[in-house]
Amino acid sequence: MIHTWHRDLWARLIATGARRAHAILLAGLPGQGKRVFAEAYAAHLLCATPAADGLACGVCAGCRLRLSGNHPDLRRLVPEADQAEAADPAPASKAKPSSQIVIDQVRQLREQLTVTGHQSGERVVIIDPAEAMNGNTANALLKLLEEPPEHTVFVLVSSAPRRLLPTIRSRCQQWDFARPDAAAALDWLQHSSEGADAGLLALTGGMPLAAAQLAASDGAAMRQRFVDDLGRIGRKDPLMLAGDWEAWLRSKEAVAAGFDLPRLADWMLRWMWDLCATLLGARARYFPDCQAQFDRCAAGADQAVMLDCYNALVQIRRVVKHPLNPRLLIEDMLLRYARAVSRPGGRS
């Protein structure tokens, strides 16, 4: 399947035919369907009789093997934490699954690629997300890219291509994914995801798949609570709100939805981005329906204080995955925000 906003890119990639590179890098913001695109391209390469538009036929021997999950010429390098078996309950004594692609995976891949392809055609290796490789893993992969096995195509998927080694990027043909057209993304979202709306699409930066995932986890209600809570800053003690948010993150609903501290910090940073944008004469991007609230906060606000708050939130977001004390971090975010919006003339 190819999403409507990827059709032009898909057509250009398929048109390369035999001139394709032995390694391609699919690069773009998260939440727009790069993984789906990579799987579709792998299906195209492994299909004996692809359709005129390049999509796999779904009925040949190669397609049947792929659809059953047993194609011997399709390999995936993904973090252990992202593998399907990681979803099964693990014994309490078992170590937490790694969020990195480790060097042993590349070593195993190298051994597998020394054997001739089982289907006498192309072999495909999908590496997703490519930025999950640590230094040792990346260097091991680099050796494979420098002397690629015959009839093997590497497909790297990345939302942060600059985190890859320059030597790896230089050996890949990069295909950049543009931001989906807003109208097309909203149309797809409204027809494909129950509970999704323009507000969630804006919050995810216009990324339709990210918005659909958020909608499936009751994101609209969480977004509304977030907006309402920040609207009460000035009438409610930020320290009390921090306690409420800490309890919120620990609730069964939040845990089930994957709503954690990094995501909360992301929302806080995006909210502050909109407020600073308003202060500088632009319009809100992530919370456009809250423009009137931003206008009130920005009226007469101290620009330096606002920008200092935004910069502080950027720094907080960088360390939020490993906080020593989540409560203190939440308090820090909210106290900084309260001071920024409580300036004379800039009350929330």
Residue 212 has pLDDT above 50, yes or no: yes
Please tell me the predicted confidence (pLDDT) of residue 153: 96
**Percent residues over pLDDT 70 in the chain:** 93
Instruction: Band the pLDDT of 348: cuts 50, 70, 90.
Output: very low
Say yes or no to pLDDT of 82 above 90: no
- Going by the DSSP 8-state scheme, the letter that residue 248 receives in this structure is H
**How do residues 242-253 score in pLDDT, each as one tens digit?**
999 999 999 999
The pLDDT of residue 344 is 52
Q: Which domains does the chain have, with CATH numbers?
A: 4-176 (3.40.50.300), 217-341 (1.20.272)
Contact 319, 222 (CB under 8 A): no
Whether the pLDDT of residue 44 is over 90: the answer is yes
Average pLDDT over residues 216-240: 93
Whole-angstrom distance, CA of residue 99 vs CA of residue 102? 9
Q: Using DSSP, state whether 126 is helix, strand or coil.
A: strand
pLDDT at 26 over 70: yes
Helices (H), the chain: 7-15, 34-46, 61-67, 103-112, 135-146, 166-170, 182-192, 198-203, 208-216, 219-231, 238-250, 252-257, 261-279, 291-298, 303-319, 326-341
Express each pLDDT in 97-148 by its tens digit. 788 999 999 999 999 998 876 666 789 999 999 999 999 999 999 999 999 9
Q: How does residue 36 score in pLDDT terms, banded at 50, 70 and 90?
A: very high
**Rounded distance between C-alpha atoms, residue 289 and residue 271, angstroms:** 12
Instruction: List pLDDT tens digits, range 67-77.
Output: 999 999 999 99
Reading the block at residue 149, the tokens are: 């096995």
Q: What's residue 86's pLDDT?
A: 43
Q: Give the Å distances, CA to CA, from 207 to 92, 174, 199, 259, 269.
A: 36, 20, 12, 18, 17
Give, in degrees to the nearest 5, the angle at Cα 148 between 142 and 149.
135
* Element at 17 (helix H, strand E): none
Question: In sequence order, which residues have a C-beta less than 8 Å from that of residue 109 and are 6 or more positions away?
Answer: 75, 77, 125, 144
Place of tokens 């409420």: 244
